Amino acid sequence: MLALAIDDIGHRTRYKQELAKGEGYVHQMIGVTAVMSVVGLILCFEHRELMTVPSAGFILLSFFYSGVDEAMHWSRYFRMGVDRIEMWAHFMAITGHVLMIGTWWHWAQTGYPGFGETLKHLANGF
């Protein structure tokens, strides 16, 4: 979250005009596909056969749009001399997303060891 906050500061100040050129829409697409991939993975715990393909689709779309956004950032870096802090913030945000989604995908496909226990506690009201 800190990496996204740092990236957002640059977007709302120094690079506001760049966002208006289309990068803002790419950020919206990343947000929607990233959130939907997590929702899909959560639904995989109870409906693996039904939700695996939609989850994979949203994951791939989130990575695709992250790649498009990254290309825009590198282009701006070479054209305008974007500060390195923003570039590192992007690197950290993408690394965090890949690690989180990879872990959730693994759990959705193999089963989260504590998921059944958690459901029991939720059903019994702790």
For 36-90, write each residue's pLDDT tens digit: 998 999 898 889 899 999 999 999 999 999 999 888 888 878 887 767 777 788 8
Contact call for residues 101 and 35 (beta carbons, < 8 A): no
Provide the H-helix boundaries in 1-126: 2-12, 16-18, 24-44, 48-80, 84-110, 115-123
User: Does the predicted TM-score (pTM) go above 0.85?
Assistant: no
- Per-residue pLDDT, 1: 57
In this predicted model, which residue has the larger pLDDT, 23 or 101? Answer: 101
Look at residue 79 in the predicted model and tell me its pLDDT: 81
Tell me, what's the pLDDT at 40? 93
CA–CA dist 22, 43 (Å, integer):
32
Whether 19 shows a pLDDT value over 80: the answer reads no
Q: What is the DSSP letter of 53?
A: H
Cα Rg, the chain, nearest whole Å = 18
Residue 22 CB coordination number (10 Å): 11
User: For residues 12 and 67, which has the higher predicted lDDT (pLDDT)?
Assistant: 67
Range of the domain at 56: 2-123
Count of structural domains, the chain: 1
